[in-house]
Chain A
Amino acid sequence: MSAEVGTRRLEPAAIAGVMSREVANFRTYWRGTAFSSILEPIVYLLAFGLGLGATLVKGVDGLSYVEFVATGMVATAVIFSSALPAMFGTFVKERFQNTYDAVLAAPVDVEELVTAEILWIGIRAGFFGCFPLIIGIAFGLDPQWGMLLVPIFAFVTALGWAAFGVSIAASVAKIDQFNYVTTLVITPLFLVAGTFFPIDQLPEGLQVAANFNPLYQLVELVRGAAFGFETVDILRFASLVVFSLALWRIAVSRMTKRLID
């Protein structure tokens, strides 16, 4: 026997059902994801933090270069574990595996499907996004209570980037078109997020533009969590919430166009 299904939107049971599919799949490949999530920040910290930091850059804004990079890399981990899996995962499930045909034949609508996919990626990226911070602590970053908020910052930002990835997947005709998105959008945003160098090193125009970069806002929030919050951080967090909500609605709209004839 099944429970009665209503016609209301965003039913928790539908969202949980879609997420349970993701969890079942994740159990088959979590080792690879965990491996790269741990190893990548170590490599970056060794290369940039210890290599560059020991030779060329002594400190940034009163922080050691390891502290600067370890806190900045949370944003890098978040975008690479949310936007990219959302883009490729959504496209593959839609185009090659026909997974969404099966899910939408069940009592699940596109809005629930997209919400579940984004939530799952957000949770994953929120978790793995904290790894650079943990590795950074092993490399000498002082643990602070404020850092306990970092998974929340990472989760909220990852929701937006996951929604971005879903929207892109629902808009391209071929998988190789993702190259344009990574080259023209993701890489530039990742580079001007204040991860490896402070944005005040950039030309003035780019400094203003960087303020509209959600990754930069995340980097600043994580540094606030590690070295002390400022009042403006409330606005930064609010901007990330708005970013994620807006991208979520765009993702639902794009996917509806894609999946419903």
Chain B
Amino acid sequence: MIASRAERLSGWGRHPVQECRVYRPEKVSELGEVMASPPEGGVVSRGLGRAYGDAALNPGGTVVSHLRLNRMLAFDEAAGVLECEGGVSLGEIVDAFLPRGWFLPVVPGTRHVTIGGAIAADVHGKNHHRDGTFGRFVDAIRLVTPGRGMLTCSREQEADAFRATLGGMGLTGAIVSARLRLTRVESAWMTVDQLPTRDLDDALARFADADAGHRYSVAWIDALAKGRALGRGVLMQGDHAPASAAPAKATRRTVRGVPFDLPGATLNRFTVGAFNRLYRATHGARTGAMEPLERFFWPLDAVADWNRAYGRRGFVQYQLVVPIDRADALASVLRRAAESGRASFLAVLKRFGPAGEGILSFPMAGWTLSLDFPVASGLTEMLREMDRTVADAGGRVYLAKDAMLDAVTFARMYPAAEAFRAVRRTLDPAGVLTSSLARRVGLA
């Protein structure tokens, strides 16, 4: 058995921080050994630690890092199908394949996510209304399960295990490798339109047009705006630029970092308010602008360790979805956030397309909103209130970001959890796979 060490770990929100025993296999056989003789306290897999809350934490138990199991294994040029290990990051795939004209069909807001993590959270992107989640482009998954050993699942074979693994938060097995379909692009550039929106109704109305005509759409919302201005922001819509329109010169990005924890008060309602006014002022109506693909999809990756800007206590990112006819619940959450004065630096709104195959996947047809809140007293109570509003509206919150949801509300938000547990019992009868998140919401 390989060596382990104790580490104090957290998710990207840096809250909570928990001490876990970490294994880092460098060979597939070593991963198999850890899974076959799991130490006390159970096991959860971890990639680049971009889940915000406690999805990849397991205090008193084991966390298996997949970062050294990151080999690309095969590429079928004709079909555009890449087979790679779970520890490969989206960024590594972009670096290797974008110069050859291939891109990932779905990308979240950072490129520093592993394939295993992208599958386990069944991540979505700005094209969800058109293309669905990441999982839609996954053809097969190989995973090590405690109950059945090495297992390959797909839509044709072990379909239940496949549907449970998409969005399964790592609770069906350790993802060894996967086959994914890449998509052809003509350039590394995007054509982007931005449209200022007056208020929430204006933003929601404009999504219909944006989504009909564009592959990508998302709106930035000024979460501090109240009253009549509630929900004002900027809608961005984008498409891959054709080769003929792309500038010849490639751009090279410099990444600046946050070198230390900023004081907790750095992002307060005044600084964020000033930023928001500046953002609106500099993002006037504009159409057909050319933007490098990396800046369009991952603007925050240009600031390494931006999560430190919230200070030592960390922050919580709260992402919800409510059915399309429940914009009232959306407004209610937004109003509650604005009135609380808790500065949300990032507030993002998008319209989701239909739900996908993953039993526990987050996206469903409706409105999704994500907000950031620095950890402070009273936050838990406010989020519980929001959880109730969302659950009452028939919506749910995103487990990959969550750090607060309780088991009772989870059960209301995810009625398919029972079906998930049934599949899990076949793959992990002894309940070896577990995490802080899983225990908190009652999945393990």
Bound together: no
Interface residues of B, Cβ cutoff 8 Å to A: none
